Structure 1
Amino acid sequence: MDQQNLEAIMGLIMNSGNAKSDAMEAIQAAKSNDFELADKKIKDAEESLTMAHKSQTGLLTKEAQGDNMTVTLLTVHSQDHLMTAIAFKDLAIEIIELHRRISK
């Protein structure tokens, strides 16, 4: 695997992990009725996911141009992190909304 692909894969893992952590912190803030912080943490999660998507798009673009790479366990792991972070962020938004309703 070349350095550019490795950096993209590590970017996927790092940014996806950051997004999931921010989403968890958003839920914790909502549990404490700190909805301003919860909203900020969700925004942070979305920004991290945007960065992760940029890494993924770079890999997909290279593949579409015929520059195929060997799929390794690390590659699969990075995609798993991204999909989990997306699902977790979406669920966090719903949980925060429930806490918002309960607090009213």
Structure 2
Amino acid sequence: MDKEKMELVVFEIVNSAGTAKGLAYEALREAENGNFEEAEKLLKEADEALLSAHNVQTEIIQAEVSGEAITPSVLFVHSQDHLMTAIEAKTLIEGMIRMYRRIDELEKK
């Protein structure tokens, strides 16, 4: 994979991961305000962004498995870090939203 293509791939991963992370935090804010339907909608959008990033990442893995020389750069490692932290943030936020739902249900009793 040439350097220019690799840079585009890296920026696609960073962009999609950043979008996913931002949407997950928006979902958390909505859940804090009791807007659980909106929170779920935002989490689904975050999933779509993560899937996009994962698909790009898979493209790189498949190229390397096919024998194409892939030279990892600091930017590539940075993009992987963004993706990993976005996935982790979303996972934690989903748990927090479940807690907010439970608190909401208990307060209504």
TM-score interval (norm. to shorter): over 0.9
2:79 corresponds in structure 1 to 78
What TM-score results when the alignment is normalised by the length of structure 1?
0.96
1:52-91 aligned at under 5 Å gives the runs 52-91=53-92
In structure 2, the residue matched to 1:48 is 49
Unaligned ranges ≥5, structure 2: none
Match of 1:17 in 2: 18
Report whether the alignment pairs 1:2 with 2:3.
yes
Count of residues in correspondence between the two structures:
104
CA shift, 1:100, in A, is 0.4
RMSD of aligned alpha carbons: 0.9
Whole-angstrom distance in 2 between the partners of 1:15 and 1:59? 15
Q: 3-state SS of the aligned residue for 1:24?
A: helix
TM-score normalized with structure 2 length: 0.92
The gaps in structure 1 that reach 5 residues or longer are none
SS at match of 2:68: coil
SS at match of 2:72: coil
| Corresponding letter in the other structure for 1:88 | A
Query: What is the letter of the counterpart of residue 94 of structure 1?
Result: G
Rg larger in structure: 2
Q: In structure 2, give the amino acid aligned to 1:58.
A: E
